[in-house]
Amino acid sequence: MQEAYEPASVEREAQAFWASRDSFRSTEARARPKFYCLSMFPYPSGKLHMGHVRNYTIGDVLTRYYRMRGYNVLQPMGWDAFGLPAENAAMANEVPPARWTYDNIAYMKAQLQSLGFALDWNRELATCKSDYYRWNQWVFTRLFRKGLAYKKTGAVNWDPVDQTVLANEQVIEGRGWRTGALVEKREIPMYFLRITAYAEELLAALDKLPGWPEQVKLMQKNWIGRSDGVRIGFPYRLENDDRVLWVFTTRADTLIGATFMAVAAEHPIAVHAARRNPELAKFMDACRKGALIEADLAQIEKKGMPTGLFASHPLTNEQIPVWVGNYVLMGYGEGAVMGVPAHDERDYEFALKYKLPIKPVIRHALGDTVPAPWKPEYAEYGVCINSGPYDGLGYQEAVDRIAEDLRAKGLGEKQVQWRLRDWGISRQRYWGTPIPIVHCPACGDVPVPDAELPVVLPEDVVPDGTGNPLAKKPEFYQTKCPQCSRPANRETDTMDTFVDSSWYFARFACPDQSKAMLDERASYWMPVDQYIGGIEHAILHLLYSRFFQRVMREETGLMPGVAEPFTNLLTQGMVLAESYYTDASGRREWVNPAEVEVQRDSKGNIVSAKRASDGIPVVYDGVGTMSKSKNNGVDPQALIDEHGADTARFYTIFASPPTNTLEWSDKNVAGSARFLKSVWTFAYRFSRASKSKDVDRKIRFRIHADLKQANFDMQRHQFNTVASACMKILNALEELPEWNATSEEGLSILLRLLSPIAPHIAHHLWRELGFGEDVMKAPWPEPDAAALEQDEIELVVQVNGKLR
RNA sequence: GCCGGAAUGGCGGAACCGGUAGACGCAGCGGACUCAAAAUCCGCCGCUCGCGAGGGCAUGAGAGUUCGAGUCUCUCUUCCGGCACCA
């Protein structure tokens, strides 16, 4: 055994060993319990970033831990390969997105391999390949025939200069990112998946997911957003035609207090009124052009304009003015709301602004009146007042009675409403799964038959930022109708990339299956036992995957009993870094933290900082997410090259608990590098020393106490303290005056504990010291109860020098 | 704006059930070794008063519950994630 720790050779050797044994290939062996451990697959953006290293290290720690516990573990890897960045890169470099994507995959795969993850590369998949995305198309055609996929109009950002649809990300302060043109909102036909058909089940099943963080379940619950309320009709007359304006409310108890109605700019009643009212038409036009993003919409000033029309109150027959409100969305409920200013904050402000009557109908904690300014108490539940027959009723009684009375008149009923909307999957972009629909002038929208799937995306296209590239390629869109064989056009929109990532986890069970979306191997591996990924996916990706799991089960007939795709979920925190800039050149220039030298005072506070290369002073701008714009990205490759994969892995685990944000600091890496070196040095000296059979009870107590804690922390995924335990055990071993049986036992425990986190060095030393051939096949260490029981109090007192 | 989180030394974090706050590591300070430096090793290290023994104050702010609160409740502040076309 050599004296110096050289990570490069140790890691090369360990990886060669694993490769020669095909150590990470998984088969459907039934003798042992299966454990499917999955980290969210990466988008092939170019290089790995620290977030990837963190995500896959966490997954690998669990994978190796469960292997040592005797499970049949699957940990696969693939590529979420369709998406917008490839088109942006194509525009910048004039390279086809396909080429750019495949190059990135090759580079990032080599990086992942250099980190020594226990991945089964035999199952690698990329969503941009037709053998994957054909099953997106296959599922879509089935949902389409069932009516679970359908066409309707949806709103998009339209850049009038480039004549193209923009992603929300490409809209900067209301303008197109490339053209600077004011973005317009446009309604275009799109395909939707009817996820709302599963709203009730997706909500109810959250209670059956004990392995998910409460936080995530709560977010999903609120997102699905069940509201129990009443659908209420307000009759009105339009051109001698009797019609009803429908609204939905959870506060039917305040119905008597309704003093106005507000409808969306797209609502038929508003459109009708605008025909004779140019000013109103202008206002509605402005509303329609407004923001698409809900966050922006929620913050705009609430504005309205009267239509001049009135509707009758369904209970009092009072005439109520109908307004157009810029805050009312056509996509939500009925596209209309009733305004009850006395008991709703938004309506209160609206009524004050436009001098509409405010009529209190609920007795609240502050009394029977609602003087300005608005107080939250006004919106609380209370007893009805000024409400005729409903006076004195509480919330539930009032709602029940009013719903009953409305029903008798045919003007209302109780209704459940969901916040969740159907999933619009059409994208007017090139680099995605073609939607398998043929538009026939005679037969309409015809799904592509199975025999003609996949509809292959041409890979030689270089988008230029204008229009939809596929719509410019007749050789792609010109086709024949599958039903009548007459000339027809293919749909040129592609699918949302969330479709790709909504089922890849199941495909990993059988990526080579060319006859079907999934086969019985999916029944073996699914559900994923442990899923690991960023908290930013808490709602959309996870909800879509839960929806797709249900769809797949119904369409394939496989995976009986598996409604939920992910049994346990670990949401990792983001990786942050310091950022620095200099104003020396007149404009703000961001300096990468790796190039900054920091001066600190005697207490360690930053006094000044300068760029190492030229000494120019730089300003510390705090800590934030790694981004290109702030030039504070840390390239993990530099870290791997300098200290080795094991140090990179150990540090990312040690620095912070997996669910916390992780603040990157190159300097802190030193402790991890030093520790691994110390393990090596200790093992080297141990390998050469003569050993006695003595047992040091105090040291042994400390080792087993740390091990006990580490096993507890392992189970609750507090991996940073497991890494700490490794350090504590080494500290304890180094206090032994001589090499003895305790050294040997402690070293054996240490290497096994270290193996999931820093697998190469653990593998190497395990063999060198003659503990066995493969540390991954060793049993996971368990604390010895006897070592912990004996004279526990006395030992603790002596060890820590103070009473516990 | 709405939904969900987070806040503990100079820094990352520990404290499992409400019971000695600061484990482990970084940075810093002092020392050993060295011609010197790096590396390594030993010691110190929340703030504050005190020569010292020892005392006082401390878990974002403010209230509350409790014999006892970093931990539970309420209000607030700041930061982070999501808000349906970034992935």
Query: Would you list the DSSP string of A294-333?
Result: HHHHHHSPP-EEEEEEEEE-TTT--EEEEEEETT--TTST
Q: Please give the pLDDT value at position A586.
A: 62
Closest alpha carbon to A652 in A672, A632, A633: A672
Distance, Å, A380 CA → B68 C1': 37
Q: Please give the pLDDT value at position A699.
A: 92
pLDDT for residue A295 is more than 90: no
Closest alpha carbon to A361 in A343, A339, A373: A343
Q: Please give the pLDDT value at position A529.
A: 98
- Residue A414 burial (C-beta neighbours within 10 Å; 0-12, 13-18, 19+): middle
Taking each continuous run of H as one helix and of E as one strand, the counts in chain A are 26, 33
Helix %, strand %, coil % of chain A (to 5): 40, 20, 35
pLDDT-derived band at A791, boundaries 50, 70, 90: low
Across all strands, nucleotide nearest A728 (CA–C1'):
B24
pLDDT-derived band at A574, boundaries 50, 70, 90: confident
Q: Please give the pLDDT value at position A728.
A: 95
Mean pLDDT of chain A: 91
pLDDT for residue A330 is more than 90: no
On the question of a cis peptide bond just before residue A454, with omega within 30 degrees of 0, the verdict is: yes
CA-CA-CA-CA torsion sign (A446, A448, A449, A450): negative
Q: Per residue in A468-500, pLDDT tens?
A: 999 999 999 999 999 999 999 999 999 999 999
Q: Please give the pLDDT value at position A582.
A: 75
pLDDT-derived band at A799, boundaries 50, 70, 90: very low
Across all strands, nucleotide nearest A298 (CA–C1'):
B1
Q: Are strands A34-39 and A72-74 parallel, antiparallel or unpaired?
A: parallel
Distance CA A278, CA A273 (A): 9
3-state secondary structure string across A114-181: HCCCCCCHHHCEECCCHHHHHHHHHHHHHHHHHCCEEEEEEEEEEECCCCEEECHHHEECCEECCCCC
pLDDT for residue A795 is more than 60: no
Q: Please give the pLDDT value at position A797.
A: 43
**Residue A661 — φ and ψ, nearest 5°?**
-65, 150
Distance, Å, A376 CA → B62 C1': 21
Q: Per residue in A681-692, pLDDT tens?
A: 999 999 998 999
Q: Are strands A423-424 and A184-193 parallel, antiparallel or unpaired?
A: antiparallel
Q: What is the mean pLDDT of residues A497-521?
A: 97
Distance, Å, A663 CA → B60 C1': 19
Distance, Å, A602 CA → B30 C1': 13
Distance, Å, A677 CA → B23 C1': 22
CB-based contacts of A744: which residues, under 8 Å, 6+ apart? A686, A691
The beta strands (E) that lie in A702-776 are given as none
Residue nearest to nucleotide B87 (CA to C1'): A43
A588-602, A642-656, A701-715, A718-732 — which is least confidently predicted?
Answer: A588-602
pLDDT-derived band at A732, boundaries 50, 70, 90: very high
pLDDT for residue A8 is more than 50: yes
pLDDT for residue A581 is more than 90: no
**Nucleotides in chain B with any atom closer than 7 Å to protein CB:** 1-5, 10-16, 20, 23-29, 40-42, 47, 80-87
Across all strands, nucleotide nearest A45 (CA–C1'):
B87
CB-based contacts of A510: which residues, under 8 Å, 6+ apart? A518, A519, A521, A522
- Amino acid sitting at position A798: Q
Q: How distant is the alpha carbon of residue A455 from its chain centre?
A: 29
pLDDT for residue A593 is more than 50: yes
The residue ranking higher by pLDDT, A638 or A111, is A111
Q: What is the enclosing helix (H) or strand (E) of A718?
A: none
Distance, Å, A251 CA → B2 C1': 19
Distance CA A714, CA A796 (A): 24
DSSP A47-90: S--HHHHHHHHHHHHHHHHHHHTT-EEE---EE---SHHHHHHH
On the question of a cis peptide bond just before residue A373, with omega within 30 degrees of 0, the verdict is: yes
Instruction: State the DSSP code for A558.
Output: -
Residue nearest to nucleotide B26 (CA to C1'): A668
pLDDT-derived band at A399, boundaries 50, 70, 90: very high
Write the ipTM.
0.94
Q: What is the mean pLDDT of residues A399-407?
A: 96
For residue A198, give the 3-state DSSP assignment: helix
Q: Per residue in A171-182, pLDDT tens?
A: 988 889 888 898
Distance CA A42, CA A12 (A): 24
Neighbours of A498 (CB within 10 A): 17
Q: What is the enclosing helix (H) or strand (E) of A186?
A: strand A184-193
Distance, Å, A670 CA → B33 C1': 22
Q: Which residue shows structure tokens 């959309």? A: A540
Q: Please give the pLDDT value at position A435.
A: 98
Residue nearest to nucleotide B12 (CA to C1'): A655
Across all strands, nucleotide nearest A730 (CA–C1'):
B24
Q: What is the mean pLDDT of residues A346-359?
A: 92
pLDDT for residue A778 is more than 70: yes
pLDDT for residue A559 is more than 90: yes
pLDDT for residue A595 is more than 90: no
Tokens in use for A538?
């808490």
Distance, Å, A705 CA → B54 C1': 34
For residue A478, give the 3-state DSSP assignment: strand
Q: Are strands A336-339 and A260-263 parallel, antiparallel or unpaired?
A: antiparallel
CB-based contacts of A755: which residues, under 8 Å, 6+ apart? A64, A68, A762, A763, A766, A775, A776, A778
Q: Are A482 and A449 in contact (CB under 8 A)?
A: yes
Q: Please give the pLDDT value at position A622.
A: 61
Distances (CA, A) of A437 to A129, A340, A604: 19, 46, 64
Distances (CA, A) of A152 to A12, A183, A290, A583: 56, 22, 21, 52
Across all strands, nucleotide nearest A421 (CA–C1'):
B84
pLDDT for residue A121 is more than 70: yes
Residue nearest to nucleotide B20 (CA to C1'): A804
Distance, Å, A671 CA → B39 C1': 14
Number of residues assigned to chain A: 804
Across all strands, nucleotide nearest A223 (CA–C1'):
B3
Q: What is the mean pLDDT of residues A113-131?
A: 98
Neighbours of A421 (CB within 10 A): 14
Distance, Å, A721 CA → B22 C1': 15
pLDDT for residue A205 is more than 80: yes
pLDDT for residue A804 is more than 80: no
Q: At what angle do helices A7-21 and A759-768 cross, to 10 degrees?
A: 80
Neighbours of A391 (CB within 10 A): 14
Q: Please give the pLDDT value at position A790.
A: 58
Distance, Å, A576 CA → B60 C1': 20
Instruction: State the DSSP code for A206.
Output: G
Across all strands, nucleotide nearest A657 (CA–C1'):
B13
pLDDT for residue A335 is more than 90: no
Residue nearest to nucleotide B39 (CA to C1'): A674
Q: Please give the pLDDT value at position A587.
A: 62
To the nearest 10°, the Cα dihedral for A119, A122, A126, A131?
Answer: -150
Across all strands, nucleotide nearest A493 (CA–C1'):
B85
pLDDT for residue A553 is more than 80: yes
Q: What is the enclosing helix (H) or strand (E) of A797?
A: helix A792-800
CA angle A198, A203, A205 (to 5 degrees): 95
Q: Please give the pLDDT value at position A82.
A: 97
Across all strands, nucleotide nearest A623 (CA–C1'):
B79
Q: Please give the pLDDT value at position A286.
A: 85
3-state secondary structure string across A207-264: HHCCECCHHHHHHHHHHHCEEEEEEEEEEEEECCEEEEEEEEECCHHHHHHCCEEEEC
Q: Per residue in A701-724, pLDDT tens?
A: 999 999 999 999 999 999 999 999
Distance, Å, A375 CA → B63 C1': 22
Distance CA A6, CA A4 (A): 6
Q: What is the enclosing helix (H) or strand (E) of A278?
A: helix A278-289
Q: Are A369 and A283 in contact (CB under 8 A)?
A: no
**Residue A123 — φ and ψ, nearest 5°?**
-105, 10
pLDDT-derived band at A588, boundaries 50, 70, 90: low
Residue nearest to nucleotide B5 (CA to C1'): A215
CB-based contacts of A626: which residues, under 8 Å, 6+ apart? A49, A50, A51, A575, A576, A577, A632, A633, A634, A664
pLDDT for residue A243 is more than 70: yes
pLDDT for residue A606 is more than 80: no
Q: Please give the pLDDT value at position A340.
A: 94
Q: Please give the pLDDT value at position A599.
A: 60
Q: Are A448 and A137 in contact (CB under 8 A)?
A: yes
